[in-house]
Amino acid sequence: MRTVFGVLGNPIEHSMSPAMHNAAFRELGMECVYHAFRVDTGSLEDAILGAEALGFGGLNITVPLKQEALNIVDADPLASSIGAVNTIDLNNGIHGYNTDGIGAQRALADAGVDIDGQRVLIVGAGGAARAIGFQFHDQGAEVMIVNRTEQRAVELASAIGVRGFGMERLEELIGQADVLINATSAGMYPKTSDSIARREQMHPDLTVFDIVYNPMNTQLLIEAEAAGAIGINGVMMLVYQGAEAFRIWTGVEPPINVMKNAVMEALRS
């Protein structure tokens, strides 16, 4: 009998996690399968408890459920500090973790970006922004948070111990930043024309990291290229956060190249 894993979120149709994890399970000959499930916030607790009752091995949690999941699981100290959960282990209880921050850090490292000492501007104040903000601040970056609702940016920044601003400061802060991170859903399929910033707001010494991976070449990255900036898409963050979740669930080292190739193939299809 196969062990079932899955990702919960809404919208969920765009998720590449099933292709990625199922490829890893096949590569390793594991009797496991991974599915995507559309779940709204009001049904999240029922979904998690139902998955545990049905013997699921684990879950990923995506937008807009990451912060709500914290109230349902037994969270580890990092996820508790971040205030958001993206991975749930259902072996012997309901244990919550957050692998987004390490996924983002490893994705930037792959691109040759060491965040220690870098001025990092994060746009967004949701679950992904929280994870990246805590992780990067801990690793020595000078973090700034900008959000459409300024109060949310200020609250998140205060929790991390950094500065938070409203969107009216965006252009000024991009000018000061070494790294700009889109931690919102802006530009995600199907709203692919959306972008948090325009080319004239950027500078050539900027690294622009968009956590959106579908499409791979978002409007933000198109704007970054036109400005002469370095652009990094969200594919490797997806892969690395998924690889860490895989380790948590199974205790097995994941085949990262297989997972990456599965995501790239699915995105091209």
Question: How many Å apart are CA 90 and CA 73, to the nearest integer?
Answer: 10
Q: Taking the CA atoms of the chain, what radius of gyration do you get in angstroms? A: 18
Give the H or E element holding residue 36.
Answer: strand 32-38
Exactly one of 9, 15, 20, 66 is catalytic; which is it?
66
Query: Comparing C-alpha atoms, which of 145, 142, 144 is closest to residue 117?
Result: 142
Cis peptide preceding 64, ω within 30 of 0: yes
Query: Is residue 66 annotated as a catalytic residue, yes or no?
Result: yes
Question: How many Å apart are CA 78 and CA 144, to the nearest integer?
Answer: 20
Q: Rounded to the nearest 5°, which phi and psi values hold at 91?
A: -85, 115
Question: How many Å apart are CA 124 and CA 28, to the nearest integer?
Answer: 37
Question: How many Å apart are CA 96 and CA 182, to the nearest integer?
Answer: 24
Q: Torsion-angle region of residue 215: left (phi > 0), alpha (psi -120 to 50) or beta?
A: beta
What the block records as the tokens of 165 is 């601003």
What the block records as the tokens of 183 is 């931690």
Question: How many Å apart are CA 27 and CA 31, to the nearest integer?
Answer: 11
- Which residue in the block uniquely carries the two structure tokens 């259902």? 90
Does residue 220 contact residue 182 with C-beta atoms inside 8 Å?
A: yes
Annotated catalytic residues are 66
